[in-house]
Amino acid sequence: MESLSAFNLTDDFEIDAEIIKDKINDVRSVLIAEEWKAKMLDDQYYQKVCCLEIKCEDVACNVAGVPMKAGQKQYYVELPALNNRIDWDNIKYLGTIDMANNFNRLTLSGMLSSDGNRWTAKDTFYTVINDRAILKNLPTANTRFLCLVGILDRPNQSCDWLNDDTDYPCSNVLKLEMLVKQDILSAYGLPKDKLQDSQEAVPGSATPNVVPKVPKSE
């Protein structure tokens, strides 16, 4: 915000901080896609998120509008929104919190046919469907939380994000800042009020909109 206002941040600065955050995330997503296509994706984009709770639900079928339990359970974790521009490279690790057991990611068809694999049928698998990772063959029955190392679409919306002083995952902060400023300045006019007078500035003017006093006639 200070840079956008030429380091003259006043009470007339009208761009909300949340708008700037969204722009930063959008531009970062484009940079990630460009690096991925060039096969130069930097590890600094990845975040470690270790607050994914394993959940269980009864598998049910809808018969004539009535939900009927199928007698089976499905285990899953809800994933944060991931960057979907870079295929499976958006997840580098999904497994136990001790980082010692990386589950195998499969397509849905691969997951369904995994029981026929002679050597890996008992391994832990997962497949991603929408915002869930569906799990199969959990390593232990008392496993409650999983850890993810992935590229999030909105890094600041991670459950592990502490506050806005947390290091932002980006490999080239200067380039990111330059592109964000160009994008914002092309869409917004930023009037500059050099006085902290809580009065509105006139667009295109460097001074606030102050009605001049007319001297009284004697």
pLDDT in tens, 108-121: 888 888 877 777 77
Q: What is the pLDDT at residue 217? A: 56
**Residues 6+ away with beta carbon under 8 Å from 17:** 1
The reported pLDDT for the residue numbered 200 is 56
Residue range 149-166, pLDDT digits in tens: 999 999 988 888 877 788
Domains of the chain by residue range: 1-42+171-218, 44-166
Cβ neighbourhood burial of 52 (10 Å; 0-12, 13-18, 19+): buried
The neighbour count for residue 158, using CB atoms within 10 Å, is: 19
Q: Which residues contact 156 (CB under 8 A, 6 or more apart)?
A: 21, 25, 164, 166, 168
Q: How many helices (H) and strands (E) does the chain have?
A: 3, 8
Q: What pLDDT, on the 0 to 100 scale, is given for residue 45?
A: 95
Write down the pTM of the prediction: 0.75
Per-residue pLDDT, 210: 46
Radius of gyration over every alpha carbon of the chain, rounded to an integer in angstroms: 26
pLDDT of residue 208: 47
**For the chain, which residues score pLDDT lower than 50?**
191, 206-212, 218
